[in-house]
Amino acid sequence: MVARNNAPDIMHRMQTNTGKTLWEMSHDQPVMLVFLRQFGCTFCREALADIAKKRTEIENMGMRIVFVHMTEAAVAERYFHRYELGGAIHISDPDCTYYAAFGLVKNSVTQLLGLQFLMRGFQATVLEGHLPGPSLGDDFQMPGVFIIQDGEIRESFIHKLAYDRPDYFKLAKCCTII
């Protein structure tokens, strides 16, 4: 198990748009909990596209994908539809309380101005077409991915840099039930 701050305690309060808590869902089947950067971020949009490409494979392995975002549900659902993730299960966290409970930190201004950041931004924006939009949350909040089963974190990917690109399929394979 990978322990993260207050994550196990707070799962009981993390209610999804379906009305179930994260705790309940993780006892039904393994959950891939994806904390997103704000929806205007190029790298958030890249993550949504990456997950959309692997969604069917991940779900066919018995894994449920749940997103955490920093905006109201209706706004989030527009982005999920845009990235072919309609019907996504998600949790709104505008104050980033859940992000903090899972140990996700804020990045620095210098990190957002580095050469690698600009190069990856060029790749995601120009080459892959994930154009940035208006800021819809905390621009400094870092994302992360957690695999949760029976209320315990089994695996995680904590972004060190805003442009890190996790292998979602590989993460899902750690706890599949099929």
Q: Locate 161 and state its tokens.
A: 């840099």
Q: 153: Cβ–Cβ under 8 A, 6 or more apart, which residues?
A: 1, 2, 3, 4, 7, 8, 146, 147
Residues 6+ apart with CB under 8 A from 170: none
- pLDDT band at residue 178 under the 50/70/90 scheme: very low
Give which of 9, 11, 36 is closest to 148, Cα–Cα.
Answer: 11
CA distance 141 to 158: 12
Q: Which residue has the tokens 């909990």?
A: 33
- The pTM of the full predicted model, rounded to 2 decimals, is 0.84
Question: Which class for 89: exposed (0-12), middle (13-18), buried (19 or more C-beta within 10 A)?
Answer: middle
Range of weakest confidence among 2-16, 109-123, 128-142: 109-123
Q: What span, in angstroms and rounded, lies between the C-alpha atoms of 159 and 143?
A: 6
Q: How many residues does the chain have?
A: 178
Q: Which domains are delineated in the chain?
A: 7-175 (3.40.30.10)
Confidence of residue 163 (pLDDT cuts 50, 70, 90): confident
Tokens (6 digits) for 137: 């949350």
Nearest to 176 by CA among 52, 53, 56, 29: 29
CA 72 to chain centre: 15
* DSSP H/E element including 145: strand 144-149
44-84 pLDDT tens trace:
899 999 999 999 999 999 999 999 999 999 999 999 999 99
Which phi and psi (to 5°) does residue 142 adopt? -85, 150
Sign of CA dihedral 101, 79, 155, 121: negative
Confidence of residue 133 (pLDDT cuts 50, 70, 90): low
